[in-house]
Amino acid sequence: MYIVTGGAGFIGSAMVWALNQQGITDILVVDNLARTEKWRNLVGLSYQAYEHRDIFSERLRARRIAERIDGVIHMGACSSTTETDADFLMRNNVEYSKELCRFTLERGGRFIYASSAATYGDGSCGFTDDDSLLDTLRPLNMYGYSKHLFDLWVVEQGLLDQVAGLKFFNVFGPNEYHKEDMKSVVCKAYAQILQDGLLRLFRSHRPDYEHGEQQRDFVYVKDCVAVMWWLLEHPEVGGIFNVGTGQARTWNDLARAVFAALEHEPQIEYVDMPEMIREKYQYYTCASLDKLTARGCDVRFRSLEDGVRDYVHNYLMHGPGFLTSRS
């Protein structure tokens, strides 16, 4: 049996899809659907049960959960970078993660969890996932700090060789539609281009970057879950790893990729970046993959263009389309 927390969310539901691709349906999905549209991510997937996060948390504390657990994929967290309730983030992203990690290891299961590239802060310390540099990182927001605190706890408890933490970079792909303002620029660009015939990107407010030349490591969600499946198959591999392509691409590159997938000529307009985010805006991110590669991971990451093409042609053009157990 596998437990996927945040299993109705973007990466969580994609992981349920990945398990389905391997013929696995004995899955408990844990989430908080509330009044969101996340339920749509589950419609085409196969799993044994859904349980509300609060009910699951109560059963977790009482240890009233099935004896046999093959693995827990812990994607459940508050991922809002603008969340200001620090106590909530400490409870939800740190303490809950500790309890779930202890429980999983007690049962002999594999524990894989989502850390975050937000732990790297402004990137001044680089983007290497070298464990010895972990305590030098300075996240810029409480969300990133909550993820960083759990990473530090894993190290302090001597669990690096028993669990796998993943620092996802700029993930895009199907099943992100419920995320509203947090959706990827690929998803937003598709809608904007169809509506207005053009795409608006932020101007650069630094002299060393031209407009639209700010860079990110864009990674397709299908490749992210391929890494997670590889880690499930290799329980001997532990540590905290970056998950990205290892290539920094510009927002202009992303725009051109979406226009190309739509067979439209690029029309880009640059607009001022809101002042409230200018000081904390990252102009460059790029995942170092040396550590993951050195441990033997052979997942081949799609190029930005290939990922965008698959997303646009096979999902966004279809209503949008969702990942399903038969696809």
Q: What pLDDT is stored for residue 79 in this prediction?
A: 67
Q: What pLDDT is stored for residue 80 in this prediction?
A: 66
Distance CA 263, CA 265 (A): 7
What's phi and psi for 305, nearest 5 deg?
-65, -45
What's phi and psi for 224, nearest 5 deg?
-60, -45
Q: Do 221 and 176 form a contact (C-beta atoms < 8 A)?
A: yes
Q: What pLDDT is stored for residue 142 in this prediction?
A: 82
From the candidates 98, 179, 183, 188, give the one annotated as an active-site residue.
179
Comparing 16-20, 121-125, 177-181, the range with the smallest average pLDDT is 121-125
Q: What is the pTM of this model?
A: 0.95
Q: What pLDDT is stored for residue 278 in this prediction?
A: 87
Q: Do 73 and 112 form a contact (C-beta atoms < 8 A)?
A: yes
Q: Amino acid identity of 197?
A: G
**191 has pLDDT over 70:** yes
**291 has pLDDT over 70:** yes
Q: Which domains does the chain have, with CATH numbers?
A: 2-172+218-246+286-302 (3.40.50.720)
Q: What pLDDT is stored for residue 46 in this prediction?
A: 98
**98 has pLDDT over 70:** yes
Query: Could you tell me which residue, 64 or 304, shows the higher pLDDT?
Result: 304
Question: Residues 233-267: pLDDT tens digits?
Answer: 999 999 999 999 999 999 999 999 999 999 999 99
Comparing 114-123, 180-189, 193-202, 228-237, the range with the smallest average pLDDT is 114-123
**84 has pLDDT over 80:** no
Percent over 90 (pLDDT), the chain: 81
**166 has pLDDT over 80:** yes
Query: What mean pLDDT comes out for the span 110-115?
Result: 96
Distance CA 197, CA 126 (A): 37
Question: Residues 8-25: pLDDT tens digits?
Answer: 999 999 999 999 999 999
Q: Considering all CA atoms of the chain, what is the largest pairwise distance in Å, rounded to the nearest integer?
A: 59
Angstrom CA distances, 41 to 1, 37, 232, 233, 236, stand at 20, 8, 22, 25, 31
Query: What mean pLDDT comes out for the span 130-156?
Result: 91
Q: What pLDDT is stored for residue 81 in this prediction?
A: 63
Query: Could you confirm whether 179 is annotated as catalytic?
Result: yes
Question: Residues 23-52: pLDDT tens digits?
Answer: 999 999 999 999 899 999 999 999 999 999
Q: What is the mean pLDDT of the chain?
A: 94
Band (pLDDT 50/70/90 cuts) for residue 82 is low
Query: Could you confirm whether 311 is annotated as catalytic?
Result: no
From the candidates 47, 143, 311, 315, give the one annotated as an active-site residue.
143
